[in-house]
Structure 1
Amino acid sequence: MRKLIIAFSAGLLLITNLLHAQQKLGHVNSDAIFTNYSEVKTAATAAENFGKTKQAEIDKMVNEFQAKLKTAQDKQKTLTAANKDKLTKELGNTETELKDLGGKIEALRTKSSKDVSDKQNELFAPIQKKVADAIAAVAKEKGLVYVFDTSKSQGNNSIGYYNPSDDITAAVKAKLGIK
């Protein structure tokens, strides 16, 4: 009987310790944070203005292309037997210019797209880091081990913070014999 009471007490003590050892979880909606964060609005405005500048460069080149094309079309309407050789040569040169300009426009569009993307990364990366650092700081203050991001843009299930000491990757690798 005494052994049964000791075993029961030990089991009760073990269960109590397990209940106290439960890890605390939290959640955050990063969409709500980013939507209301003034630095995000400032960065978005700067990115939008940068994009408009790049689009203006493209529009200028497209307008140049359209003007040359219209000039060529107008010249083609004046084609007669008397000016056929001269005009055919001019139109051939204009066609080459238009092809070159079309290639430049496409190259500028590609470069502008990359530039805008790079600018957005440059503007938003520090803000994302600030938000991630704030989430980690609050999680540590509250003793949370994991914080899930419940925002729709993150798929309602991303981990916004985790305690690195709970990472079992190395143990799983070792169990599988992966070095």
Structure 2
Amino acid sequence: MKRTFLILCAAMLFPIFAGAQSHKIGIVDSQKVLSEMPEMKSMQAELDNLAKKYEDTLVQLQKEFQTKYQDFVKEQETMVESIKSRKQQELEDLSKRIQDLNNVAQQDMQKKQVELFAPIQTKLREAINKVGNDGGFTYIMDASQMLYVGSGSEDVTSLVKSKLGL
């Protein structure tokens, strides 16, 4: 009975140990690679230009609001009630336009960032895949998500950078 149990245990453990072959694991610092890619710099420049356009428009609208508000405050005591309510409505409408433009700007900036980043991310992923295939790696993991990196892993950041021509 004892012998049968040992044979059964050995038979169950054999696949576990047989599958425990060594794996070649690479670690890449994708944030470092991304920061050095010229595409990221051009993406940031394009996003900065778009942000500047929205900012200029918002500043202009805020100045217009401020001017109209100051005029309203100065003249409200002498205004006829119908004109006063029309001016208040004008200020509320302008304030709403500013808020709406702010929301649209944020959404457009996020959308543009996703649109511009997708091909950069694809390019990085393809370079990592090439390094993985060329180097015979079983896994390549991102350094930012690693809690522990042992001596059995290899930093492939420089290999990925060279695949990208950096």
Q: Settle same-fold status: TM greater than 0.5.
A: yes
Q: In the TM superposition, what is the alpha-carbon distance from 1:75 to its structure 2 partner?
A: 1.0
What is the match of residue 59 of structure 1? 59
Give, in whole Å, the separation in 2 of the partners of 1:156 and 1:116. Answer: 30
Please tell me whether residue 75 in structure 1 is matched to residue 50 in structure 2. no
Task: Tell me the SS of whatever aligns to 1:144.
Answer: coil
What is the match of residue 173 of structure 1? none
What is the match of residue 41 of structure 1? 41
Highest CA radius of gyration, 1 or 2? 1
Which amino acid letter does the alignment assign opposite residue 65 of structure 2?
F
What is the match of residue 89 of structure 1? 82
Pick from 127, 142, 146 the counterpart of residue 120 of structure 2: 127
Gaps of 5+ in 1: 1-13, 158-179
> Does the 8 Å contact 1:47/1:123 carry over to 2?
no
* 1:5-41 CA-partner distances (Å, limit 9, x unpaired): xxxxxxxxx8xx9489422111100111011111111
* TM-score for both structures, normalised by structure 2: 0.72
Task: Tell me the SS of whatever aligns to 1:22.
Answer: coil
Give the 5 Å matches for 1:145-160.
145-151=138-144, 155-156=145-146
Give, in whole Å, the separation in 2 of the partners of 1:25 and 1:19. Answer: 16
What is the match of residue 3 of structure 1? none
What is the match of residue 4 of structure 1? none
Give, in whole Å, the separation in 1 of the partners of 2:146 and 2:85. Answer: 58
Give the 5 Å matches for 1:110-121.
110-121=103-114
Q: In the TM superposition, what is the alpha-carbon distance from 1:91 to its structure 2 partner?
A: 2.0
Give, in whole Å, the separation in 1 of the partners of 2:56 and 2:28. Answer: 39
What is the match of residue 143 of structure 1? 136
* TM-score for both structures, normalised by structure 1: 0.67
Which amino acid letter does the alignment assign opposite residue 36 of structure 1?
E
Give, in whole Å, the separation in 2 of the partners of 1:19 and 1:65. Answer: 71
Gaps of 5+ in 2: 1-13, 148-166
